[in-house]
Amino acid sequence: MSQKTTTFLMFQNRDAEEAMNFYVSLFEDSKVVAVSHYGPGGPGPEGTVMHATFTLAGQEYMCIDSSEQHAFGFTPSMSIWVACDTEEEIDRLYAALLEGGQPLMPIGSYGFSTKFGWVNDRFGVSWQLNLA
């Protein structure tokens, strides 16, 4: 059996399912694979995500709603890189991810890319979008 790596996102504001469904709506070949929720008397608030698996453009991700608050959250030093095929795609994704979020590098032409944008979305997850 070979090793496999999967990006794991820990949400602390009880919005893992909302974030997951938002991300799945943005990318083709994406789906929610499985979701389990905390029940009554569980370590997390009832109805929040105990564990979920989903795919974005065929790549597997996992997420949870943390049952405990931590002194740390998402950081832009770890981000999701998206290679976009068209200007329409990069513009659409940047606008959707920016809504309620924060721009880190506005869409523009940079020395390493003719069109690139970096944004923290409204859930705090960092995305780098590059026109391939």
Using one digit for the tens of pLDDT, what is the confidence trace for 23-76?
A: 999 999 999 999 999 999 989 999 999 999 999 999 999 999 999 999 999 999
Q: How confident is the model at residue 1 (pLDDT cuts 50, 70, 90)?
A: confident
Chain center to CA of 64: 12
| Mean pLDDT calculated for residue range 103-119 | 96
List CB contacts of 77: < 8 A, sequence separation 6 or more. Answer: none
Entry pTM: 0.94
For residue 90, the surrounding DSSP H or E stretch is: helix 87-98
Beta bridge partners of 119: 103, 127
Q: What span, in angstroms and rounded, lies between the C-alpha atoms of 80 and 126?
A: 6
The widest CA-to-CA distance across the chain, in whole angstroms, is 54
pLDDT for the residue numbered 87: 97
